Structure 1
């Protein structure tokens, strides 16, 4: 499963998770920073990414339009990059099951 991290998350997360989420990337590495959410949404959809963000706008879009792409909503408030890495690594099994589920569009992690 490939994750696409939104700009509200650090791009320094990618090297720390790419071993378990191969081909994951950050919007910064795709020159999509400060892009409209719709553009990021469409990119993720076209390239089979799961969007990861703390942005409630993606949450709303996912509720309205469903998937693809799937969306992982990190409801963690202001926290360290290390905490985000920990959440993504510790929830690997849950995230993998979510990625393969046919009906689910949103996964909320805290």
Structure 2
């Protein structure tokens, strides 16, 4: 059963997310609004992974579920995205267990309760 919902604005073909723990929005409905994504994640107890600040803004005002992992790199090439994300992903998952929002920057991580 999936634990994470990957927003449509993130790569579909990404080896880190190719397991039963991850579902990409494209596999559900890539036309959903942010509210529909939020509701689906909430109903299925999923953590949303996104580059969209709307989700991190919303979780600051609410309590989980869902939780949010906000990838805040800005624009970068796919190879750099892959290397940067792979290097910190285990730490991101650990923070996700204890925080409702994890902000992932190029040079540091931030967990918010």
Note if 1:109 corresponds to 2:108. no
TM-score, normalised with respect to structure 2: 0.78
Q: How far apart in 2 are the matches of 1:81 and 1:48? A: 29
Secondary structure of residue in 2 paired with 1:91 = helix
Contact 2:69 2:96 in 1 (8 A): no
TM-score, normalised with respect to structure 1: 0.80
Q: Which runs of 5+ in 1 are unaligned?
A: none
Higher helix proportion (structure 1 or 2):
1
Q: Which runs of 5+ in 2 are unaligned?
A: 106-113
Q: How far apart in 2 are the matches of 1:79 and 1:66? A: 31
1:39 is displaced (CA, Å) by: 0.9
1:75 is displaced (CA, Å) by: 0.7
Matches within 5 A, 1:1-110: 2-13=3-14, 16-18=15-17, 22-31=20-29, 33-101=30-98, 104-110=99-105
* Structure 1 equivalent of residue 111 of structure 2: none
What count of residue pairs does the alignment treat as equivalent? 104
Give every structure 1 segment of 4 or more consecutive aligned residues whose post-TM-superposition deviation is greater than 4 Å: none
Contact 2:9 2:50 in 1 (8 A): yes
